[in-house]
Amino acid sequence: MGGHVVVAPDKFKGSLNAAEVAREVADGLRAAVPGLDVREHPVADGGDGTVEAALSAGYARREVRCTGPTGEPVMAALAVRDQVAVVELAEASGLRRLPGGRPAATTATSRGTGELIRAALDLGCRQVVLDDQTLRGKAPAGVAAAARAAGVPTVAVAGRSTLDPAALEPAGIARVYLLSDLEPDPERSMRDPAPLLRSLAGRIAADWLGWSTPTCTSTSPAGPSGRGSTP
């Protein structure tokens, strides 16, 4: 079979990061269509996950000891290539850095993010890119728009969606495959989304690649990601 499939997801927040989502969907497609050329390109919407997306694009990881949101030291990462560094606020100062996940809105500090910028400059970087949420906050929407401009069909995989399918067409999304169609319980889905993503990938292969295998249907529980209509 000629051609290839590009898997370019954002994270399923609270469940899998973008790279893990890409891997599970790609594994499902390869299982459904042996020999299929599947290319994994995780993306980020400018928030948490931005550094990981840069790393997947060929940037090098640099670990930095810096100040966490409560003043305790943490190890945070930035992505570096040539003289460009990608710095993500969530790496040093995000919610996941709060001890026990307990909010500290009145006392938390973002000093660590500044220390990451300083570290990037010390590494010789002349350009520092700070994470910045896109207008709609969803990188996959940009992927779909670019694909549509190139005449390439795009399908989305989401936890659940309340959007009318007609509203998706202008965004360049031909169809959405929902984990909630397989498992209506969000908690069960978020605990173990990997087999659900592989199952949906089998369905995508059947619907769009003309390949029918037993992996295109599932009798096991499956569920939403908890990210609303996020692809």
**Tens digit of each residue's pLDDT, the chain (231 residues):** 557 899 999 888 778 888 899 999 999 999 999 999 999 988 876 677 888 889 988 999 999 999 988 889 999 999 999 999 998 888 888 878 888 777 776 677 888 888 898 899 999 998 888 765 433 444 566 677 778 878 888 898 988 887 777 778 877 888 999 999 999 998 888 889 999 999 999 999 999 987 654 332 222 233 333 333 333
Domain encompassing residue 206: 5-44+136-216
Instruction: Write down which residue in 130, 162, 192 finishes a domain.
Output: 130
- Asked if 24 contacts 57 with a C-beta cutoff of 8 angstroms, the reply is no
- In this structure, are strands 84-87 and 38-40 parallel, antiparallel, or unpaired? unpaired
Instruction: Write down which residue in 100, 130, 160 finishes a domain.
Output: 130
Q: Provide the number of structural domains found in the chain.
A: 2
Q: Are residues 35 and 146 both part of a single domain? A: yes
Q: What is the pLDDT of residue 215?
A: 33
> Minimal CA–CA distance to 93: which of 160, 137, 128, 48?
48
Q: Are residues 40 and 140 both part of a single domain? A: yes
The set of residues, in sequence order, having a beta carbon less than 8 Å from that of 141 and lying 6+ positions away, is 134, 171, 231
| Residue 80 counted as domain residue | yes
Check residue 101 and report its DSSP letter.
G
- For residue range 18-70, list pLDDT tens digits in order: 889 999 999 999 999 999 999 998 887 667 788 888 998 899 999 999 998 88
